[in-house]
Structure 1
């Protein structure tokens, strides 16, 4: 209930003291209780999920320059965040949890760097020259063009603006920015565009095109033999995992059945989209990434699974099966969605029967 309340609450400056209280309470419980346990408990999953939403809201307030008078509150969180830095070994094998921990750490890293050391300056990239006298390591936080255009697209959908197609064209033009190392901007861009995609097919198409280009680019770079000349994309799994969650939410909460179906199956209506994706022989040539729908990604990731596969592959696959389980639970009792739920259950059963990787089975178990 607390998570739902946070998710739907308006952005009011008066909420900040409460948000800081919840943030400190969550971190205290994690650092002084949950971290001491030998096994993973469901309360940890819930606390970290709530925490990620709280810190994401704090980050949005930061972008608008509203944290200037809350420096003492920020300092109170520092000891707990320092302890959270050492939680990687505990949570790495649970991407659904670790992704939220990474989100908390990344948002606060940016806030502390800008707020406590140099003050908060919220500046778009276009205004970079106006801050030329500011140390680039300490100055204003710059929002990239991709995120700006995702916000603009969302606004166009809300207002039913005829400018939407033009905005989406510009958005796709900046798709390479999804590959920038500041993955927090990338996640925010996908979250905003995902909200628009729940209402508009053109936005859903743009969202899926962004992820297809991102995955193809990342996998192409990581397949190069001369690793010393390749950029570090160790952060890319954060973007991929978050996308699987966004896609699942579109399947559940999009306003039309056509949007929900497209997010699940993809735009291709050919028979290949309906084939048994989990019975692909991994010794055969891996299928091409054609769709970044749930079924398209299942086919792609499952065909590339191995003990030493790339982090993006197994975490992307984990994210899909984890969210499929969550979707099946969410659809219980909805008679109109029985067919959809049965399809999900069939996929999950085939995954259990044919997938040997323990990490994927772990994702199913944790979600249940």
Structure 2
């Protein structure tokens, strides 16, 4: 046995010992194991290098995360950072299923017994989100057909997690992660498992009447999963940005034709579409504007329908999930966009700079409720705050909750960054005004959860020293990894990008990185119906902005 190894005996001794001398010895050994895991995960090299072996180290770090206290927090932070930036390899699914089972067990068995939300639950939900997102990509590539036993083992935990609404409803940022976990597993299980499993209930066909045939997600008789046009065009946009294509505006125009697909109840494709388009928006202003326009149209439609009693039969109970995902993506654009103008626009909007101060420091709720002119961060903050009430729609209070929640996280993320003093000052001032003038207890709950449970340190953002300097609170790379791997699936030819979906024939794909020759290499079939003449665009050959 290696000198630095995790065993059940070690975990029990670490958690139960009361001898200070032995506790110090075990803590020192746990730190050495943690350092070894960090090296094997390649945290400083984005998961690459000869010394890196992700699957076994993911499992090892998950064992280490059972040691209570600071070791547990650091181990979960390391696991989250690794799952965020790691590439997609063929030998990852077994380890991902192991992690999924471990995370779901802890969410269902440990979290359900606690009366309050703790920082561990936040980290577990965020890790579970990244795991489910990665498994969904492998599902699209057709690599989960041989993992039916793993999916069956997840069924009891998924069933228990589906009843967690009462526990997490008042914490929408966590609840949205839980909903993504459940939705991705529901789609995968319906496709891969027999019809008598928990998530294989047949949906009412009347729910899909009036939609295009290519919008149906599950084709059981054809054994194929069909994505909608919104996701397909978002991937096309991202590919154009990567290739510096002169036809980007043309593809963006085609994308806007399918913006109404964001309103469909099968929202997983919409969430992926926003994630991919958000990555393009970090590099290109036209993509950012399209992203904001699509969300503005979505919000106006949702609010209009909810205000009309005669349309009460329309179910938009899931709309808050899309709003939460969009706000998270917009926050990441504010922090990590390629140029300062993109970051400023995502936060303030496209408004005239002379009049931007009125959006930065809202004092009181105006007598006349403002219109939703644009879905920038401050634009949404102004719009949602003006409509807050005790009995407002859940889209309003959850949207406002997530905005305030992410304000706290952004101010903490930008601490000590002299290059972004202006943005940090605006965020800090907006946050202070919100704290002083907002009376709704739900919003103050967002402030407290963000400061105490998420960050564990309500330190003033202008203080340069913080005890949690290495914590990962935002996902910086998973969107790019997903967009990159999906573009290789949808557009395998490097030089050609069609404006319409092409039929992807069965073939052995070469785009996922190979580490074990014995792993099956399959790609799922994508069916296309009633499409017109395909228009092809020739790319200019230029170096990619982002590299592996």
- 1:303-342 alignment, distance < 5 Å: 303-342=386-425
Q: Does 1:10 align with 2:87?
A: yes
Q: Confirm or deny that 1:274 pairs with 2:347.
A: no
1:158 Cα deviation from its structure 2 partner: 1.1
Aligned counterpart in structure 2 of residue 93 of structure 1, from 160, 164, 170: 170
Q: In structure 1, what is the equivalent of residue 183 of structure 2?
A: 106
Name which of 378, 381, 384 aligns with 1:295: 378
| Matched-pair contact (CA < 8 Å) for 2:281–2:288 | yes
Counterpart in 1 of 2:149?
72
CA contact (8 A) 1:265 1:294 kept: yes
Question: What stretches of structure 1 of length at least 5 have no aligned partner?
Answer: 119-124
Superposed displacement of residue 117, structure 1? 2.9
How far apart, CA to CA, are the structure 1 residues paired with 2:420 and 2:259?
34
| Matching residue of 1:258 | 341
CA shift, 1:343, in A, is 1.3
Secondary structure at the counterpart of residue 356 of structure 2: helix
The separation in 1 between residues aligned to 2:107 and 2:89, in whole angstroms, is 27
Deviation per CA, 1:91-137: give whole Å up to 9, x if none: 0000110000000001111111111137xxxxxx99969x99x657x
User: Secondary structure at 1:35's aligned position in 2?
Assistant: helix
Show CA shifts across 1:77-96 (max 9, x none). Answer: 11111110111100000011
Deviation at 1:345, TM superposition (A): 1.2
Higher helix share: 1
Query: CA, structure 1 residues 128+94, in 2 after alignment: closer, same or farther (shift >3 Å)?
Result: closer
- What is the RMSD of the two structures over their aligned residues, measured on CA atoms? 2.0
How far is the alpha carbon of 1:261 from its aligned partner? 0.4
Q: Which has the larger radius of gyration?
A: 2
1:44-89: CA deviations, max 9, x gaps?
0000100011001101111111100011111111111111011110
Tell which deviates more after alignment, 211-220 or 341-350: 341-350
Contact persistence 2:214–2:228 (CA under 8 A):
no
Residue 208 (structure 1) aligns with: 292
Residue 355 (1) aligns with residue 432 (2):
no
Query: Is 1:346 the equivalent of 2:429?
Result: yes
Summarize deviations over 1:181-231 as a string: whole Å, max 9, x none: 111111110000001110111110110010000001111111112244x41
Indicate yes or no: 2:298 matched with 1:221.
no
SS of the residue 2:226 aligns to: strand
Query: How far apart are 1:270 and its partner, in Å?
Result: 4.8
Equivalent-residue separation in structure 1 for 2:224 and 2:357 (angstroms)? 49
Pairing 1:82-161 to 2, within 5 Å after superposition: 82-117=159-194, 135=220, 139-161=223-245
**8 Å CA contact retained: 1:273, 1:295:** no
Deviations 1:17-65 (A, max 9, x none): 1111111111111122122111111000000100011001101111111
SS at match of 2:391: coil
Work out whether 1:52 is the aligned partner of 2:135: no
Cα distance between partner residues in 2 of 1:300 and 1:167: 30
Q: Secondary structure at the match of 1:38?
A: coil
Distance 1:139 1:151 in 2: 23
TM-score by length of structure 2 reads 0.63
**Which structure ranks higher in relative contact order (CA pairs < 8 Å, sequence separation ≥ 6)?**
2
Residues 146, 171 of structure 1: 8 Å contact kept: yes
Residues 271-295 of structure 1, C-alpha deviation per residue, up to 9 Å, x if partnerless?
Answer: 443205532435x221010110011
Q: How many residues align?
A: 357
Give, in angstroms, the shift of residue 339 of structure 1.
2.4
- Compute the TM-score of the two structures, normalised by the length of structure 1: 0.93
Structure 1 position 61 matched with structure 2 position 145: no
State the Cα deviation string for residues 313-352 of structure 1 (Å, max 9, x = none).
Answer: 1111111111111101100111122222121111111111
Q: CA distance change for structure 1 residues 281 and 12 in 2, over 3 Å: closer, same or farther?
A: same
Please tell me whether residue 285 in structure 1 is matched to residue 368 in structure 2: yes
Verify the 8 A CA contact 2:235 2:276 in the aligned structure 1: yes
Q: CA separation in 1, counterparts of 2:169 and 2:324? A: 13
Of residues 211, 227, 237 in structure 1, which corresponds to 2:320? 237
**Alpha-carbon distance in 2 for matches of 1:309, 1:212:** 19
